[in-house]
Amino acid sequence: MAEEDLEIVYEEANEAMGKSVQSYRKDMLRIRTGRASTSLLDGIMVDYYGSATPLKQLANLSAPDPRLLVVTAFDKGSLDDIERAIQASELGLNPANDGKVIRISVPPLTEERRKQLVKQVKKMAEEHKIGVREARRDAISMVKELETDGSLPKDDRHRADKHIQDLTNEFSKKIDELTSQKEQEVLEV
């Protein structure tokens, strides 16, 4: 009985920690690296006929070359709204609307901006590591409950705590590896 309960705790901890890593991967896609990527425009919401609509639902996004993004609206009447939304975003991009498509030139990053982005990546990494540690805390409290209920011997609890800490270390290491990869991308000229 105790082994089955522990397996459930391990699975839940593994799943929660995995979600933190996945969320971190997704968040890192939004950070500029000096190369044009349509993922830069993820999260941009356009005021489309009075409702906030994701840009991806209003236009086709493409990156024909490393320094250019092209936004082709499905409804040409929404081009001005899309342009305003891109300008209002914190990306620092300057869209050019020719009435048919919006072209966005992605300028190379300055050294100062690269350093800011590295700080932002590190801050995001720490926030997601907190998610991993919260999953560890939840798992350890579930193990303590099992011990309190009498369905888990004290020796098994210590082994379970060590297993949960090993999981935590594994997922924190994944976040660190992703962080160093992203730092190298950002700092690459």
Give the model confidence (pLDDT) of 55-67 as tens digits.
Answer: 888 889 888 888 8
| Low-confidence stretches of the chain (pLDDT beneath 70) | 1, 32, 34, 189
Q: Of how many residues is the chain composed?
A: 189
- Whether residue 126 sits in one domain with residue 72: no
- Whether residue 180 sits in one domain with residue 88: no
- Quote the pLDDT of residue 108: 79
- Whether residue 173 sits in one domain with residue 117: yes
User: Is 0.75 surpassed by the pTM of this model?
Assistant: no
Residue 94 contacts residue 87 (beta carbons within 8 Å): yes
- Domain hosting 9: range is 2-29+110-187
- Quote the pLDDT of residue 105: 85
- Whether residue 116 sits in one domain with residue 25: yes
Residue 151 contacts residue 179 (beta carbons within 8 Å): no
Position 145, amino acid: E
The CATH number that applies at residue 137 is 1.10.132.20
- Whether residue 168 sits in one domain with residue 118: yes
Number of domains in the chain: 2
Which of these three, 79, 105, 131, is where a domain ends?
105
- Whether residue 72 sits in one domain with residue 46: yes
- Whether residue 160 sits in one domain with residue 97: no
3-state SS class at 42: coil
- Quote the pLDDT of residue 168: 96
Give the pair of three-digit tokens for residue 142. Answer: 């579930």
- Whether residue 57 sits in one domain with residue 22: no
- Quote the pLDDT of residue 189: 63
**Half-sphere exposure (Cβ direction) of 19: Cα atoms closer than 13 Å:** 11
Say how far apart CA 82 and CA 67 lie, in whole Å. Answer: 20
- Whether residue 178 sits in one domain with residue 119: yes
